[in-house]
């Protein structure tokens, strides 16, 4: 049973309007599954005003608490070598540990490309068995790399995946332990997926993190910025959680040893986002065409949301959000004409390739600060 403590919260981050539909539907799905806790939505000053307005309008129904925060960037002119352009602004995710959230006893961070299914997500707060006030609970990475992405490390193979030896139904409550440094455990088992994590906010934790961040001279070498930083910062003090709280959509066909559709609590739409491309007539969707079923789930929830908000007369909200959801006439090859949407569409994995982005991290952020209101 979920804790009765009322001073918990979920949190997410949005820095560009192409993720607006994801945030709104995340909030909606939390509420629809009867979550008792607010969703704190951190947003940066460059987020278009109409997107902020949409968050405020949806907040009437889905318990959204919008909070503006400044972008967080490494200093010292460090270069960035990112897998995808959309990762350039994810350092700001670390703001979830900062002062505005210190009033909560426990926070569950969720990426903006997640959605809740099947049951109340609030059970995550009890499932996160934090060893102490300076620790973190989350899900491990999947390192199967069945699509043979060139950027993946050599040890990313199915036999090294922390989910390979788990089975249903035990995997609903059990996970592979994270090995301590020097214990001889597999290095891949220490990989943290930064899409969902639970922690206890405090000034002490934030001060330690910020000092580490400001004095870290290899941030530019991290391919998955916030995720790699969190893994390093919480080394030997983070614990693993069951897969169902951060269920990657690819696991439906990669990890049939643990996956059951009805067992998913929080679905993570990694790589291309469902609102950036329609499911094809033949039922295929996603980068490799294998994600038709899980993308259908998102679209079904979106249509439910549209119908509900229309009945409530929220026409302004519907108009704003619909501008950042792919329209049928744009279907074509599954991509959008909007440049920002292309960063989250079906071609995003191909666009990432294995190229090293040149220039400083602050230069990589230029598209954010120059975005005009849409």
* Contact (Cβ atoms closer than 8 angstroms) between residue 273 and residue 334: no
pLDDT score, position 287:
82
Measured between alpha carbons, how far is 279 from 319 in angstroms, rounded to an integer?
22
Domain spans of the chain?
A: 8-366
The tokens 């060893």 sit on which residue?
Answer: 131
Measured between its terminal Cα atoms, the distance across the chain in Å is: 43
pLDDT score, position 221:
78
* pTM over the 0.85 mark: yes
150 token code pair: 């060139």
Backbone dihedral angles phi then psi of residue 288, each to the nearest 5 degrees: -105, 5
* Contact (Cβ atoms closer than 8 angstroms) between residue 240 and residue 175: yes
127 token code pair: 């499932």
Which residue, among 336, 341, 345, 329, has the nearest Cα to 287 in the 3D structure?
Answer: 345
For domain 8-366, which CATH number applies: 3.40.50.1980, 3.90.550.10, 3.40.30.10, 2.40.40.20?
A: 3.90.550.10
Instruction: Using alpha carbons, list the distances in angstroms from residue 155 to 11, 148, 249.
Output: 32, 12, 22
Which residue, among 70, 93, 88, 73, has the nearest Cα to 12 in the 3D structure?
Answer: 93
Give the pLDDT band of residue 218 (cuts 50, 70, 90): confident
Measured between alpha carbons, how far is 91 from 107 in angstroms, rounded to an integer?
18
pLDDT score, position 14:
97
* Contact (Cβ atoms closer than 8 angstroms) between residue 287 and residue 248: no
The DSSP code for 193 is: E
Which residue, among 91, 117, 145, has the nearest Cα to 271 in the 3D structure?
Answer: 145
pLDDT tens-digit readout, 259-296:
999 999 999 999 899 999 899 999 999 888 999 999 99
Taken in order 167, 168, 169, 174, the sign of the CA dihedral is positive
pLDDT score, position 370:
27
pLDDT score, position 355:
39
Query: Cis (ω within 30 of 0) for the bond into 358?
Result: no
Give the pLDDT band of residue 217 (cuts 50, 70, 90): confident
Which residue, among 114, 96, 126, has the nearest Cα to 242 in the 3D structure?
Answer: 126
Give the pLDDT band of residue 48 (cuts 50, 70, 90): very high
Measured between alpha carbons, how far is 351 from 339 in angstroms, rounded to an integer?
13
Burial 311-345 (b: 16+ CB within 10 A, else e): eeebeebbebbebbbbeeebeeebbbebebbbbbb
pLDDT tens-digit readout, 71-124:
998 875 555 554 444 455 788 999 999 999 999 999 999 999 999 999 999 999
Instruction: Using alpha carbons, list the distances in angstroms from residue 65 to 56, 151, 173.
Output: 8, 37, 31
Measured between alpha carbons, how far is 192 from 141 in angstroms, rounded to an integer?
5
Which residue, among 272, 223, 275, has the nearest Cα to 248 in the 3D structure?
Answer: 272
Going by their DSSP bridges, the two strands 106-110 and 64-68 should be labelled as unpaired
Is the model more confident about 122 or about 344? 122
* Contact (Cβ atoms closer than 8 angstroms) between residue 58 and residue 64: yes
């Amino acid at each position: 049973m979920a804790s009765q403590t009322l001073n918990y919260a979920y949190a997410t981050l949005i820095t560009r309007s192409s993720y607006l539909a994801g945030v709104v539907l995340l909030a909606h799905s939390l509420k629809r599954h009867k979550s008792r806790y607010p969703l704190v939505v951190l947003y940066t000053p460059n987020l278009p005003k109409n997107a902020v307005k949409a968050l405020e309008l949806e907040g009437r129904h889905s318990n959204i608490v919008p909070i503006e925060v400044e972008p967080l960037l490494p200093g010292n002119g460090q270069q960035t070598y990112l897998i995808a352009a959309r990762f350039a602004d994810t350092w700001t995710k670390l703001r979830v540990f900062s002062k505005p959230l210190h009033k909560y006893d426990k926070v569950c961070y969720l990426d903006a490309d997640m959605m809740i299914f099947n049951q109340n997500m609030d059970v995550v707060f009890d499932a996160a068995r934090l060893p102490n006030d300076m620790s973190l609970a989350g899900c491990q990475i999947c390192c199967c790399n069945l699509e043979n992405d060139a950027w993946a490390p050599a040890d990313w193979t199915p036999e090294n995946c922390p989910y390979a030896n788990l089975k249903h139904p035990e995997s609903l409550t059990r996970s592979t332990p994270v090995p301590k440094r020097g214990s001889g455990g597999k290095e891949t088992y220490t990989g943290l997926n930064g899409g969902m994590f639970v922690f206890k906010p405090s000034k002490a934790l934030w001060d330690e993190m910020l000092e580490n961040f400001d004095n870290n001279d290899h941030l530019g070498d991290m391919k998955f910025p916030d995720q790699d930083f969190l893994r390093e910062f919480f080394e030997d003090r983070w614990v693993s959680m069951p897969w169902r709280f951060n269920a990657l959509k690819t696991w439906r066909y990669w990890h049939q040893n643990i996956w059951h559709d009805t067992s998913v609590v929080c679905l993570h739409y990694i790589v291309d986002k469902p609102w950036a491309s329609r499911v094809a007539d033949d039922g295929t969707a996603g980068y490799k065409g294998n994600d038709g079923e899980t993308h259908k789930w998102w679209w079904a929830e979106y249509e439910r949301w549209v119908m509900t908000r229309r009945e409530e007369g929220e026409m302004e909200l519907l108009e704003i959000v619909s501008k950042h959801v792919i329209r049928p006439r744009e279907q074509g090859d599954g991509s959008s004409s909007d440049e920002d949407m292309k960063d989250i569409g079906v071609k995003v994995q191909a666009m990432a390739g294995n190229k090293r982005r040149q220039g400083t991290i602050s230069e990589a952020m230029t598209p954010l600060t120059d975005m005009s209101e849409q």
